[in-house]
Structure 1
Amino acid sequence: MKFTVLIVTYHPDWKKLLVTLDSVMAQTFKDYEIVVSDDGSEENCFDKIEAYFAAHQFANYTLIPHEKNQGTVKNLIDGLAKAKGKYVRDFGPGDAFYNEHTLQQVYDFMEENQYESCFGLMRGYCRREDGGVDYVEFPHPFDLSPYKNWNEDKIVKNLVLYRDNASGACTCYTVDYYMTYLKKIEGTVIYAEDIFQMMAGLDGRPMHFFPDYLVWYEADTGVSTKKKSGFSELLAQDVDRFYAMIQEQYSENPYVKKQKKVLGLYKIRNLYLRTLLRLFRNPDAIRYLISHMLQARKGAYRPSHQQKGFLDNPEFGKEKAE
């Protein structure tokens, strides 16, 4: 098996889940399995998922139920434990492959370069009440230049000092690599799974850049993107515990030492005051911010040859949902 598509769910919305499933089933690359791991939902939609696969004559899938909610990291680990693929791309309901060629392209990219991890560009979308679609650009990470020009030291610096990791929504890994780092943060991090990238960078195993759109990302309506959500506090607790672990395990790293000087500033709730004090403590952050703005102005977060994707058609994923 070459690829595992891992879908992690918790109280999934069936219409959103259909968008994800439709984008997978439409791939021209066919050597994949689908693993769905549900984190203790009262309604996990497994009956609908099975009916969907039967209608598509697709049998290469595994459904993993859980009696209790255990958090994203543990849910991912349980899903990966059942994975038969060499590589894995994980989704939440509503997110989708960019177009029908994406899985083939990212597989070729990983195989040809023998990479164990990568991230791609992402486009966000929002469904309006009238059924239309609004589009959002996501600059993740903010500073793409060290990945494009491969400056590993600068990548680690940005990860440690500026928390500038790629969104987990646009990543691809070998199953072994992903499992290794999820196991390292298990018990310390409950929900913010993509934070492990800092640890991987410190270990000399940072991610590589796939220079094309990899995913459509459902913006503003997902749990982790809602601006006013109790979930944001849980993520903040994950970050605090993770940084304490980094300070203990990588205490001799010069960037980790510098990080320690600014950690207390993150407890300041006022964003503007926090930013001002961070710049005072670490003037190099000015360079980092200016670099991001210049890259955005030059279109660094868009592929050089942009192809249309699934959600450029506002009707994608709607017909069956209705």
Structure 2
Amino acid sequence: MIDISIIIVTYNSKWFELKATIKSVLMQKGINYEIIFADDGSKIKWNEKIREYVKGDYNYCFADSNINVGTVSNIINALKVSKGKYIKVISPGDCLNGKLAIKKWIDFMEKERADLSFCNAIYYKKDNAKKIEVLKEKSSPKNVNIYHKRKNKGKLFVDYLLANDTILGAAVLAKRNIILKYLLEMEGKVKYAEDYMIRLMIFDNKKICHMDKNLIWYEYGDGISTTKNNKWAKLLYQDFEGTNEIIKNRKNIENKMQKKYQKYLIDSNYKWMPRKVKKVLLFPGMIFCRIKMKLSHNNTPFEDEKKLEIILQDNVQ
């Protein structure tokens, strides 16, 4: 039985970054995994280099798109051929931290019976000389303590959906059946921001847990969510509204908070009151969430950059 399918998503990626990610995956011990390379219609594909690099008895395959279909559909293509109970999606430049990263993560998921969990991410950047610098940024989410409290559903609902205190998509691991269900629901409405599925999961009261371990090296500034490009900002806003449309069309809702939020989204189509004003009036608790976000001292963790430099070396250990 395959414990986890690790999906490496690529689009016009640099070989150096892809190779580092692959190496961090090949180092994993204590679990049965498969690797699925999912390229989203790149001009230059690295399949031959991958075959040359991934030597030995490793379980891997390709699920490439001939044309650019967007992140959500690209991941769905990989999910359809995946066999693992759990799914980890990872991008070139991001690396697993340590040989037992996935083993520890799966053990945590099993213990907590979580639908999705997220770990701490070590943010880093590298210059043209590939010199690594570990960064100190505000953690995502900032009010992470909510995830460690009992009976947190209401607070989590407001913090995530109203205050937009979001989870870093690169730091997520989820059950296969959960991620496939939500991405299929999003397909055609959300193109790039696959992590917006967490908004739907929060709305549906799925179990989301925080694993307080540093399991991911996250290359900060290269992803579409951290870029300053206005084009991507518009596309992500369209994806955000796409998830709102899904929530608007949810049926058989019984929870009062869900009904209230759904009504807020539907009524926001009418311009007689600005959406932000209505949000504050209906959900005053979001003000406290925002204040906590501003005052938060939850920063991204620091680790010795030499640990990442070892991963970036050429030879697979």
TM-score (norm 2): 0.86
Aligned residue number for residue 142 of structure 1: 142
2:183 counterpart of 1:182:
yes
Is the Cα contact below 8 Å between 1:117 and 1:171 reproduced in 2? yes
Structure 2 vs 1, CA of residues 138 and 105 (structure 1 numbering), >3 Å: closer, same or farther?
farther
SS of the residue corresponding to residue 141 of structure 2 reads: coil
2:34 counterpart of 1:33:
yes
Aligned residue number for residue 271 of structure 1: none
SS of the residue corresponding to residue 13 of structure 2 reads: coil
Letter in 2 for 1:45: W
SS of the residue corresponding to residue 253 of structure 1 reads: helix
> Residues of 2 paired with 1:257 and 1:301: CA distance?
36
1:275 Cα deviation from its structure 2 partner: 8.1
Aligned residue number for residue 99 of structure 1: 98
Structure 2 vs 1, CA of residues 235 and 201 (structure 1 numbering), >3 Å: closer, same or farther?
same
Structure 2 vs 1, CA of residues 167 and 60 (structure 1 numbering), >3 Å: closer, same or farther?
same
Q: What is the identity percentage for the equivalent residue pairs of Structure 1 and Structure 2?
A: 27
Aligned residue number for residue 201 of structure 1: 202
Aligned residue number for residue 17 of structure 1: 18
Query: CA RMSD of the aligned region, Å?
Result: 2.8
SS of the residue corresponding to residue 225 of structure 1 reads: coil
Letter in 1 for 2:260: P
2:102 counterpart of 1:108:
no
Aligned residue number for residue 128 of structure 1: 127
Is the Cα contact below 8 Å between 1:197 and 1:206 reproduced in 2? no
2:62 counterpart of 1:63:
yes
Structure 2 vs 1, CA of residues 228 and 78 (structure 1 numbering), >3 Å: closer, same or farther?
same
2:289 counterpart of 1:255:
no
> Residues of 2 paired with 1:220 and 1:74: CA distance?
23
Structure 2 vs 1, CA of residues 20 and 166 (structure 1 numbering), >3 Å: closer, same or farther?
same
> Residues of 2 paired with 1:318 and 1:171: CA distance?
22
Provide, for residues 213-270 of structure 1, a one-character-per-residue CA deviation record: whole Å limited to 9, x for no partner: 22111111334422125222211111122213322326862233345677899xx9xx
Provide, for residues 118-174 of structure 1, a one-character-per-residue CA deviation record: whole Å limited to 9, x for no partner: 111112110023432122235111221221113012112222212333121111111
> Residues of 2 paired with 1:301 and 1:225: CA distance?
15
SS of the residue corresponding to residue 90 of structure 1 reads: strand
Is the Cα contact below 8 Å between 1:29 and 1:104 reproduced in 2? yes
> Residues of 2 paired with 1:164 and 1:264: CA distance?
26
1:276 Cα deviation from its structure 2 partner: 9.3
SS of the residue corresponding to residue 89 of structure 1 reads: strand
Larger displacement relative to structure 2 (44-53 or 248-257):
248-257
Structure 2 vs 1, CA of residues 313 and 300 (structure 1 numbering), >3 Å: closer, same or farther?
closer
Aligned residue number for residue 320 of structure 1: 314
> Residues of 2 paired with 1:59 and 1:28: CA distance?
12
Letter in 2 for 1:146: I
Letter in 2 for 1:125: Y
SS of the residue corresponding to residue 185 of structure 2 reads: helix
> Residues of 1 paired with 2:95 and 2:162: CA distance?
31
1:317 Cα deviation from its structure 2 partner: 4.2
Q: Which runs of 5+ in 2 are unaligned?
A: none
Structure 2 vs 1, CA of residues 213 and 276 (structure 1 numbering), >3 Å: closer, same or farther?
farther
> Residues of 1 paired with 2:163 and 2:261: CA distance?
11
1:193 Cα deviation from its structure 2 partner: 0.8
> Residues of 2 paired with 1:264 and 1:314: CA distance?
51
> Residues of 2 paired with 1:132 and 1:238: CA distance?
34
Is the Cα contact below 8 Å between 2:72 and 2:187 reproduced in 1? yes
SS of the residue corresponding to residue 176 of structure 1 reads: helix
> Residues of 2 paired with 1:159 and 1:176: CA distance?
23
Letter in 2 for 1:27: Q
Structure 2 vs 1, CA of residues 107 and 245 (structure 1 numbering), >3 Å: closer, same or farther?
closer
Is the Cα contact below 8 Å between 1:132 and 1:314 reproduced in 2? no
> Residues of 2 paired with 1:91 and 1:138: CA distance?
21
Is the Cα contact below 8 Å between 2:158 and 2:286 reproduced in 1? no
> Residues of 1 paired with 2:158 and 2:278: CA distance?
19
Tell me the number of residue pairs that the alignment of Structure 1 and Structure 2 aligns.
305
> Residues of 2 paired with 1:234 and 1:196: CA distance?
16
> Residues of 2 paired with 1:286 and 1:246: CA distance?
22
> Residues of 1 paired with 2:233 and 2:306: CA distance?
30
